Amino acid sequence: FDAVDLIRTKRDGGELSAAQIDWLIDAYTRGYVADEQMSAMTMAIFLNGMGRDEIRDLTLAMVASGTRLDFSTLSKRTTDKHSTGGVGDKITLPLAPLVASFGVAVPQLSGRGLGHTGGTLDKLESIPGWRASLTNDEFMAQLESVGAVVCAAGAGLAPADRKLYALRDITGTVEAIPLIASSIMSKKIAEGTAALVLDVKFGSGAFMQDPERSRELAETMVRLGNDAGVATRALLTNMNVPLGRAIGNANEVRESVEVLAGGGPADVVTLTVALAREMLDLAGVPDADVESALKNGRAMDSWRAMIWAQGGDPDAALPTPKETHVVRAERAGVLVAQHALPFGIAAWRLGAGRARQEDPVMHSAGIELHAKPGDAIAEGQPLFTLGTDDPDRFPRALEALEGAYRIGESGDPIDDGGPLIAG
């Protein structure tokens, strides 16, 4: 095949065959097809879309570009979840140990954050000693003993996606459903999990804002998973408002531990419980009493074992910011809006996120929300606290928060985009 012919086909609205897609992905991974050519191809896909068969073939070609893990020797069933990412989305932290406490294995291969949505590994790395990299043997042993593992995906897993995602990131071609769906699902299929629950976000803090487009993304991914033999379901969840009260890294770990201790913010608990039920149902544990596991210490024991197994100390003090800045209510009323995206951007500017993949994050940085939409507010009451080790970051973070929240009158509609779980 010739890359230019394939680019012309997609440019002109045609379909690529499985053989053409296999060739393209293999040749790109090996460096025979240049970044310039693949950029043109991803833009053609972005503009003209892909058919169902093409999306499936692209996904399978990316799976085939690397190794596929095999859990057939484990004595436990595997079940995993993937979130498309949001502001304050720490759900993996309580969820993985909670689900594992029912005797199933949760092989969470996670990423680092880029942009305003934080990465699970960045959050966990705020725990002293905890390490994200495990050898394959350590990974398998921990799945068997503890059940829950959250670790970095090795370079051998869907390497085509790694290369393609980096290219899309700098060519304005991330937000295309065929490309997002194949990217996410190639990694999950290669990971080898038997079951998968997708938490597909919509709303201002999600990267697919329109609920209908999120639904289309969810349906595309569910089909890809089931066609590849992974029992897959999706929940569509609202990301117009930050999840929970903590946005950052160490503070999100703290909030997750509160959930594992039977407390924590209602929205974080609701979503954790809903996803846990779906994951366990797919793993053959229907009607699991997940709420009790959060209240009676069973999920907490599983969390502690997971952190110890990866070198972390679950009792160690977590980093706190050197400098804080409290924003207070300028009037009394009801908090009627708290938009996720600006809060995500502000936390990022405080140092909780990174601009480039190789940059470090500041584990102590972030935002604590003292009120949630619907709460009554007194004049002068603290609304949120910004934290960072570098006070020069406050002005830019505060700039991002202009217009990010609104205090109205009691009885005013709450601008939160509707229920947390849409379906």
List the catalytic residues.
82, 161, 168, 183, 187
Q: Tell me the number of residues near ligand URA by CB under 6 A.
A: 6
Determine how β-strand 382-388 pairs with β-strand 366-369: antiparallel
Q: Which stretch binds ligand URA (CB under 6 A): 34-42, 175-183, 288-296, 398-406?
A: 175-183
Pick the closer one to ligand URA by CB: 143 or 179: 179
Pick the closer one to ligand URA by CB: 90 or 162: 162
Contact 264, 244 (CB under 8 A): yes
Nearest distance from residue 176's CB to ligand URA, in Å? 8
Contact 149, 306 (CB under 8 A): yes
> Which residue number places its CB atom closest to ligand URA?
183
**What is each CA distance from 160 to 62, 153, 254, 294, 343, in whole angstroms?**
5, 14, 36, 39, 33
Residue 117 interacts with ligand URA (CB under 6 A)?
Answer: no
Residue 184 interacts with ligand URA (CB under 6 A)?
Answer: yes
Nearest distance from residue 131's CB to ligand URA, in Å? 22
User: Amino acid identity, residue 76?
Assistant: K
Residue 189 interacts with ligand URA (CB under 6 A)?
Answer: no
Which member of 96, 180, 239, 369 binds ligand URA (CB under 6 A)? 180
Residue among 242, 187, 262 at smallest CA distance from 352: 242
Contact 198, 92 (CB under 8 A): no
Residue 59 interacts with ligand URA (CB under 6 A)?
Answer: no
User: How is 359-371 classified by DSSP, letter by letter?
Assistant: S---TT-EEEES-
Site string for ligand URA, 155-174 (x = CB under 6 A): ----------x--------x
Which member of 59, 79, 92, 183 binds ligand URA (CB under 6 A)? 183
Residue 234 interacts with ligand URA (CB under 6 A)?
Answer: no
Structure tokens at 159: 């390497």
Q: Distance between CA 81 and CA 106 in Å, rounded?
A: 8
Nearest distance from residue 391's CB to ligand URA, in Å? 33
Residue 104 interacts with ligand URA (CB under 6 A)?
Answer: no
Q: How many CB atoms lie within 10 A of CB 133?
A: 11
Determine how β-strand 106-110 pairs with β-strand 231-238: unpaired
Pick the closer one to ligand URA by CB: 180 or 383: 180
3-state helix, strand, coil in the chain (%, to 5): 45, 15, 40
Residue 388 interacts with ligand URA (CB under 6 A)?
Answer: no
Contact 352, 118 (CB under 8 A): yes
Pick the closer one to ligand URA by CB: 106 or 200: 200
The two most distant CA atoms of the chain are separated, in Å, by 68
Structure tokens at 265: 């913010």
Structure tokens at 207: 């990267």
Q: Distance between CA 407 and CA 390 in Å, rounded?
A: 29
Nearest distance from residue 180's CB to ligand URA, in Å? 4
Pick the closer one to ligand URA by CB: 98 or 198: 198
DSSP H helices in 81-158: 92-100, 120-124, 136-145
Residue 202 interacts with ligand URA (CB under 6 A)?
Answer: no
Q: Which stretch binds ligand URA (CB under 6 A): 177-185, 259-267, 340-348, 385-393?
A: 177-185
Q: Can you tell me which residue has the tokens 């896909």?
A: 45
By CB atoms closer than 10 A (0-12, 13-18, 19+), residue 375 is middle
Residue among 409, 365, 324 at smallest CA distance from 122: 365
Q: Which stretch binds ligand URA (CB under 6 A): 3-11, 18-26, 28-36, 179-187?
A: 179-187
Q: Which residues contact 348 (CB under 8 A, 6 or more apart)?
A: 115, 116
Nearest distance from residue 222's CB to ligand URA, in Å? 16
Pick the closer one to ligand URA by CB: 112 or 325: 112
Pick the closer one to ligand URA by CB: 100 or 206: 206
Residue 251 interacts with ligand URA (CB under 6 A)?
Answer: no
Residue 196 interacts with ligand URA (CB under 6 A)?
Answer: no
Nearest distance from residue 38's CB to ligand URA, in Å? 14
Nearest distance from residue 59's CB to ligand URA, in Å? 12
Pick the closer one to ligand URA by CB: 67 or 381: 67
Nearest distance from residue 179's CB to ligand URA, in Å? 6
| Residues found near ligand URA in the complex (CB under 6 A) | 165, 174, 179-180, 183-184
